[in-house]
A and B are shown apart, each in its own frame.
Chain A
Amino acid sequence: MGSTDATLVFARGPLFYTALMIFIVGMAYRLVSVLLLGWKRDRVPNKGSKLRGVAVTYAKGLLIFPFIPWVKKTFRGNQTTYLAGGMFHFGLFVVIFLGTAHMLVWKSLLGFGWPTLALPIVDFLSAAAIVAMIALFVNRLANPVLRLISGPSEWLNLLIVFLPMVTGYGLTHHRLLGIVALPYENLYIMHMMSINLMLIWIPFSRISHFMFYFFSRTYHGAQAGKRAVMP
């Protein structure tokens, strides 16, 4: 059996599942640890509605502010971080959930699928996300403060997310990138390998904010709503 073929089967099969299981174990561990860190009984009576607080914070954070960024201090502080960061997250979301190839992965894991966007749109957004990542990298490198607070794990985070993205992009365009002339399988192997690495890495890195972001936004929203100070 050819080595390429065997490697691809391994990367798409057993290795992927091992990585996925490590990811689940890791995320469950992180979540439970955080939840049990300081869960105190709430003895203060509510002044406002917790639910309202949560709703407002999500509406503002996800639907309103992205389109009027100048009202935010983070935007005024560093536009590159804000815009490239937004572009990157939006692109990534679309690629992972609305790209046909990825929907088929979800379908095989969850048992159901959903309609996807046309490839050219997904393609454009993934290219935009890649460009955004490069901008974020340069920004981190160029900004003295950012560079000062960046340890090895920050650089690694960037790299580990960057790899699946470029290999995935190359995979879709293996023919257009004729200059590189890497066969589809090789790119597919690289894509799967980088995904597997990322899955194992996420729980132990700050990329886990994909989960804790919602966790903390909900918590803080609820706290603000309870005190009737709208976030």
Chain B
Amino acid sequence: MADETIYQYLQREGVSRRQFLKICGALAVTLGISEASPLLAAGLTRPTSPTRLVAEALASKPRVPVMWLNFQDCTGCTEALTRSLSPTLTDLVLNKITIDYHETLSAASGVQADENKRMMMETYAGQYLLVVEGSVPTGANGNYCTIGGRTAVDLLQEAAAGAAAVIATGNCAAFGGIPMAQPNPTGAVPAYQLITDKPVAHIPGCPAIPEAFTGTLVNFLVFGKLPELDDLNRPITFYGTTVHDRCLRRPFYEAGKFANSFDDEGARKGWCLYKLGCKGPTTYNACAGIKWGGGLSFPIQSGHPCLGCSEPNFWDNGGFYQGQSAPIGRPTLTAAGVALAAGAVIGVANAGVNRLQKRHADTDEETTESLSG
């Protein structure tokens, strides 16, 4: 059944034509497809409605199986995805298009799941999409994280070898996340450092925004490739602007109205959270636009500054509640004291040299005077 199209597969799963078109419409919205779609640009199709574009793609493309591996993570990205409030999409990804293997969700099936995974790697070699959640420990020969007696490094490399592309979801898989935070006891690395010969898309976040994940996944299913990525390999559609750029508190930032604590008047009035450490200005993510819980809210709207969880090293880049403008870390008082003392010592030495020179000059003068006199 390797050549079955997505539409045929969905039909077999009991999806009616009407439902199918609804799904396509939802997908088109997620992908943000407008007239200038990649297919259009490539001259592959006539201008047509976005829904039809997606429908045509799904009706002609073979279904792409998805394998999901969990390593050093909290499964928060999976949690966010399975609990996301966009039923059509989640349902589609989890139940219809199916994730054929999910390390955590399939765990209860034991060896059978393992067998399933092996078959999948054989049948769909070079075709399946690999999703990675969690960072990969390389310390102690990779033994900090083993599944079924095999190390995460081993499992990842084996799975990546047959994948068409990789999606690293969450900050841990994309940038190392909390496991890689100083002092990084397990020698954790992000997935892309171990996968060098496959395209890797990053959907960082703690957790990743479910819509950003599904959108990227669907882009791959529909167009057969990963969406356009930025220099950190994040899809530009979702990570193209900063949280600050779309923040609903932005007018207060411009007006210089800040909350000074979490329970002052400014906080109650919904003023800007910059002084409370908001990292919105340097954080690229779609929180302020897509929001969470089906567009209900996002941290800043709920009164908490942005932590910058979609950026590399967000855990080590200064305190969460320290202003964005503050320097990262702080030199100790000792260091400052040593610097002061060092400066003073050089100053004293310099003064000493000056005096010596002066004395020399004076004696020289005296000698000259006495000689001429």
Chain A, residues 1-16, CB within 8 Å of chain B (1/0): the string is 1111110110011001
Interface segment among B51-59, B143-151, B342-350: the answer is B342-350
User: A60 at interface (Cβ–Cβ under 8 A)?
Assistant: no
User: B328 at interface (Cβ–Cβ under 8 A)?
Assistant: yes
Interface segment among B70-78, B115-123, B128-136, B331-339: the answer is B331-339
Interface residue tally on A, bucketed by range = 35 or more
Q: Which residue of the partner chain, among A12, A21, A183, contacts B327 with CB atoms under 8 Å?
A: A12
Q: Is the CB of B343 within 8 A of A120?
A: no
User: A101 at interface (Cβ–Cβ under 8 A)?
Assistant: yes
Q: Is the CB of A2 within 8 A of B231?
A: yes
Q: Is the CB of B327 within 8 A of A32?
A: no
User: A143 at interface (Cβ–Cβ under 8 A)?
Assistant: no
User: B245 at interface (Cβ–Cβ under 8 A)?
Assistant: yes
Residue of A nearest to B323 (CB): A104
User: A108 at interface (Cβ–Cβ under 8 A)?
Assistant: yes
Q: Is the CB of B323 within 8 A of A101?
A: yes
**Hey, which chain A residues are within 8 Å of B245, CB to CB?**
175
User: A147 at interface (Cβ–Cβ under 8 A)?
Assistant: no
Within 8 A of B (CB), among A180-219: 183-185, 188
Q: Which residue of the partner chain, among A13, A24, A117, A183, contacts B329 with CB atoms under 8 Å?
A: A13
User: B257 at interface (Cβ–Cβ under 8 A)?
Assistant: yes
Q: Is the CB of A108 within 8 A of B327?
A: yes
User: A28 at interface (Cβ–Cβ under 8 A)?
Assistant: yes
**Hey, which chain A residues are within 8 Å of B331, CB to CB?**
17, 20-21
Q: Is the CB of A1 within 8 A of B175?
A: yes
Q: Is the CB of A9 within 8 A of B328?
A: yes
Q: Is the CB of B348 within 8 A of A105?
A: no
Q: Is the CB of B322 within 8 A of A118?
A: no
User: A148 at interface (Cβ–Cβ under 8 A)?
Assistant: no
Q: Is the CB of A33 within 8 A of B323?
A: no
Which DSSP category, helix, strand, loop or mixed, fits chain A's interface?
helix
Within 8 A of B (CB), among A92-137: 100-102, 104-105, 107-109, 117-123
Question: Complex Cα distance A21/B326, Å?
Answer: 17
Q: Is the CB of B347 within 8 A of A28?
A: yes
Interface residue tally on B, bucketed by range = 35 or more
User: A29 at interface (Cβ–Cβ under 8 A)?
Assistant: yes
Q: Which residue of the partner chain, among A16, A25, A184, contacts B281 with CB atoms under 8 Å?
A: A184
User: A66 at interface (Cβ–Cβ under 8 A)?
Assistant: no
User: A71 at interface (Cβ–Cβ under 8 A)?
Assistant: no
Residue of B nearest to A16 (CB): B327
Q: Which residue of the partner chain, among B255, B282, B339, contacts A25 with CB atoms under 8 Å?
A: B339
Distance to closest chain B CB from A169 (angstroms): 14
Question: Complex Cα distance A20/B327, Å?
Answer: 11
Q: Is the CB of A25 within 8 A of B343?
A: yes
Told that A33-B354, A36-B351 touch, could you supply 5 new A-B pairs with CB distance under 8 A?
A1-B232, A28-B347, A29-B343, A29-B350, A184-B242
Binding site for B on A (CB under 8 A): 1-6, 8-9, 12-13, 16-17, 20-21, 24-33, 35-37, 100-102, 104-105, 107-109, 117-123, 175, 183-185, 188
Question: Can you list 28 contacts pairing A with B, beta carbon distance less than 8 Å?
Answer: A2-B312, A5-B232, A5-B311, A5-B312, A5-B313, A8-B282, A9-B313, A9-B328, A13-B327, A21-B335, A21-B339, A24-B336, A25-B343, A27-B343, A29-B350, A30-B343, A32-B350, A35-B351, A100-B258, A101-B324, A102-B325, A104-B275, A119-B253, A122-B256, A123-B256, A184-B242, A184-B244, A188-B282
